[in-house]
Structure 1
């Protein structure tokens, strides 16, 4: 998107199974004083790793760089305080941890940022400032709003306010830990405990699930139990993901353990059965 819009950007590459290395970010900011914004993902759903929010924002602030946080998969379950961590812009969505339907993306930003004197954008959809001004002036959307999605999102936010962000994160974490226990004899968590998010869990079973074809066989097996996981194998780490968000019935986790036992006992004894099952 940045390239299409003619915005110069520098990418920092890091291993997907580790939280972002602060030394790399610091070196990049020191080497290039022309950098004006630091954009990063708070929770990476590829493997479930959580990146250090406060240290990243503090580092950027020391260099006079504004921060843009992608909190799509953390907002609502991982505590984020704009008072304690003064980021500039945070972007999230009505689904994921808010537990609403997809369809509404929103921005949390200071009035100073929204009312800054930067040049106008050449995008209607991404012009957050214009939408904010329209809300302030008319109380309305600039175009036909997704009314049903907005109402559902409002209800989801009410339920989040009742449960609380900390408790929701603890609920997701308890689901994650229960999944680890249920699948433990057959698959191992990819990440160290300190890097794991509560929203999803990356597992590895390299003796059995080595290729996309192997994961396809596991996926088809789980469907027979009316259980569904993400369908793609992360090839660099040979890991697959199980989501921990939402209202998860403990019975589903027990059933997952049974399904894993059936699958892995068969395929660990007969690796060719994986290909035959596809």
Structure 2
């Protein structure tokens, strides 16, 4: 095993050595070579979701939350109304962002272990014609629940509204086909299923929707329309880009394509999850979600009630053995999360299960 810990987290995550090596070069941000690298980045991001043509790729410095805030501020204009579909912490975060941006926002909520229901959304849209945009978290990293994108997108489109999709924990592994599913904007980041390093958020936005959003954003640096116009003008970022992060993400996208694209990546993540869940079940752990709504991205486990086991010592014992897990984000009950994504495979999870068994022996 490497001396470096295995990150069993939903991002940052374990990256491939080739991705890390791509960061060893210094780039001039206004140099033609870096402008060409940015163009490749934008093209490859669109290709992951079959977005070329109707959509444009707009990368932005910062984390996934930065791009969500930029999208809400830019695409939901003053006088428009956003409905957020909430069944976890990241849906709640979008509600808070919209409020801080001064946008009118309402929420439709479900328990953390229940997927968003299209029929209930359709009813809400019929009842409130003032709603112009709907926001959905595709895979809620709070629990790992997978929400029904195609069905939700169809309801939103039929009602003549615009869908904003937080695809942070799905983009690059779970299928998003913009030729088949009507989405106004897909929002994601470099450091999750694409297996890049943190530092870039990006939006794939319908060209017409973005063109109509000029002047909406109250922010200078988070204005997606202005960022897009800058790229279209001269291929350059408006403000200093994280050049090494761009290089790493382009390398990660090349690796994704070479490995077979999102379908192959999902298959690897599914094998990781299946190995993890089978082993944890044998060790007496309970999966929080029903398997029917569980995405192979991150798994939430309840702390076993019959064992004297608390998260902090459990975390520290696994960390000492080279595995970093995540605390739970459930509003009720103690839990922990184990990510199945990153440049890791079945063998890493088999070793993790040996480590968990060792930690449990004296418990």
Correspondences of 1:69-84 after superposition (within 5 Å)? 69-84=165-180
TM-score normalized by the length of structure 2: 0.69
Structure 1 CA distance, aligned partners of 2:294 and 2:307? 21
TM-superposed CA distance for 1:51, in Å, is 0.4
Corresponding pairs, count: 265
Verify: 1:43 aligned to 2:139, yes or no: yes
Q: Which has the higher mean CA deviation after the structures are superposed, 8-17 or 72-81? A: 8-17
Correspondences of 1:13-28 after superposition (within 5 Å)? 13-28=109-124
What is aligned with 2:23? Answer: none
- Structure 1 residues 134 and 233: alpha-carbon distance in aligned structure 2, compared to 1, 3 A threshold: closer
Q: Which has the higher mean CA deviation after the structures are superposed, 180-189 or 95-104? A: 180-189
What is aligned with 2:189? Answer: 93
What is aligned with 2:353? Answer: 257
Residue 138 of structure 1, aligned match among 234, 243, 265: 234
Q: Secondary structure at the match of 2:134?
A: strand
TM-superposed CA distance for 1:13, in Å, is 1.5
Residue 114 of structure 1, aligned match among 196, 199, 210: 210
What is aligned with 1:171? Answer: 268
What is aligned with 2:63? Answer: none
Contact 1:29 1:63 in 2 (8 A): yes
The CA RMSD over aligned residues, in Å, is 1.8
Q: Which has the higher mean CA deviation after the structures are superposed, 77-86 or 233-242? A: 233-242
Structure 1 CA distance, aligned partners of 2:306 and 2:271? 27
Structure 2 CA distance, aligned partners of 1:206 and 1:21? 30
Q: Which has the higher mean CA deviation after the structures are superposed, 185-194 or 79-88? A: 185-194
Please list every run of 5 or more consecutive structure 2 residues that lacks an aligned counterpart in the other structure: 1-96
Structure 2 CA distance, aligned partners of 1:168 and 1:89? 23
- Structure 1 residues 206 and 6: alpha-carbon distance in aligned structure 2, compared to 1, 3 A threshold: same
Structure 2 CA distance, aligned partners of 1:220 and 1:117? 48
Verify: 1:182 aligned to 2:279, yes or no: yes
More strand by share: 2
TM-score normalized by the length of structure 1: 0.89
Please list every run of 5 or more consecutive structure 1 residues that lacks an aligned counterpart in the other structure: 268-278
Structure 1 CA distance, aligned partners of 2:165 and 2:246? 23
TM-superposed CA distance for 1:117, in Å, is 5.6
Q: Secondary structure at the match of 1:30?
A: helix
Structure 2 CA distance, aligned partners of 1:200 and 1:5? 30
- Identify the structure with bigger relative contact order (alpha carbons < 8 Å, sequence gap 6+): 2
Verify: 1:226 aligned to 2:322, yes or no: yes
What is aligned with 1:197? Answer: 295
TM-superposed CA distance for 1:266, in Å, is 2.6
TM-superposed CA distance for 1:108, in Å, is 0.5
- Structure 1 residues 149 and 118: alpha-carbon distance in aligned structure 2, compared to 1, 3 A threshold: closer
TM-superposed CA distance for 1:193, in Å, is 1.9
Q: Secondary structure at the match of 2:327?
A: coil
Structure 2 CA distance, aligned partners of 1:227 and 1:208? 24
- Structure 1 residues 54 and 176: alpha-carbon distance in aligned structure 2, compared to 1, 3 A threshold: same
Kindly report structure 1 stretches of 4+ aligned residues shifted beyond 6 Å: none
TM-superposed CA distance for 1:263, in Å, is 3.0
